[in-house]
Amino acid sequence: MEPNLKLSEDEGEVLEDPLVYRRIIGNLQYLTITRPDLSYSVNKLCQFLIAPRLPHLKVAQRLLQYVKTCLAQGLLFPASSEVKMRAYTDLYWEACQETRRSTSSFCIFLGSSLISSKSKKQHTVSRSSAEVEYRATTNTTCEIV
C-alpha cells in the first residue's frame, strides 16, 4: 500500500457487484497466514467490505499485483534455531480518521520463526498515546499467555 494513503467510506463510486471485491479480500486474508507482510493492507481493505467503492477495488488490485511480483516470499521455519520467545508491539494512535480509534499490532517469534501476529483496531477511543501503548502491551501479553 502507498504510505499515508487515506481511504474513505464516502469517496468514489459504489461498486455494482461488491462480491468481486469481497472475494479478492477473502483470498488475501487466507494468504496472510503465510505472508504477514500483507496483514496491514488487508486489514485496511477489510474495513470497507460492507459498501466497497472503486478506489478500494483499485487498491486491492494493486495489492494483487504486488503479490504476483514476489511469489517466492513467505515464512521460513529453520530447524536450527534456538528456542527463545520474543514479542514486539507497535501502535498507531488515531489511525482511523473517521472513528479516531487506534490500531495496535504485535508479532511473536519462537526462535527465528514467526508464530503469531495480529493487527487490530482498538475497541475504544484513547485519550493519550500512553493509554494506547498500555492496551497494545496488554493484548500482546494476553496472546503470549
Contact 125, 99 (CB under 8 A): yes
Mapped onto helix, strand or coil, the DSSP state of residue 71 is: coil
Q: How far apart are CA 106 and CA 48, in angstroms?
A: 23
Sheet of 85-92: strands edge to edge? 85-92, 103-110, 113-121
Say what the pLDDT of residue 97 is: 63
Same domain, 90 and 138: yes
Q: How far apart are CA 97 and CA 83, in angstroms?
A: 41
**pTM to 2 decimals?**
0.59
Q: Is residue 80 part of a domain?
A: no
Say what the pLDDT of residue 20 is: 93
Confidence of residue 124 (pLDDT cuts 50, 70, 90): confident
Q: What mean pLDDT do residues 88-112 have? A: 77
Place of cell 514476489: 70
Say what the pLDDT of residue 35 is: 80
Confidence of residue 105 (pLDDT cuts 50, 70, 90): confident
Same domain, 113 and 140: yes
What tens digit of pLDDT does each residue of 30-89 get? 888 778 788 888 988 998 999 999 999 999 999 999 999 888 776 676 777 778 899 998
Angle between helices 18-31 and 54-69 (to 10 degrees): 40
Confidence of residue 132 (pLDDT cuts 50, 70, 90): confident
Q: Is residue 74 part of a domain?
A: no
Q: Is residue 36 part of a domain?
A: yes
Q: What mean pLDDT do residues 126-139 have? A: 80
Q: How far apart are CA 31 and CA 66, in angstroms?
A: 13
Residue scoring higher pLDDT (45 or 119): 45
Range of the domain at 138: 85-144
Q: Is residue 96 part of a domain?
A: yes
Contact 111, 81 (CB under 8 A): yes
Please count the other Cβ atoms lying within 10 Å of the Cβ belonging to residue 107.
19
Please tell me the total count of domains within the chain: 2
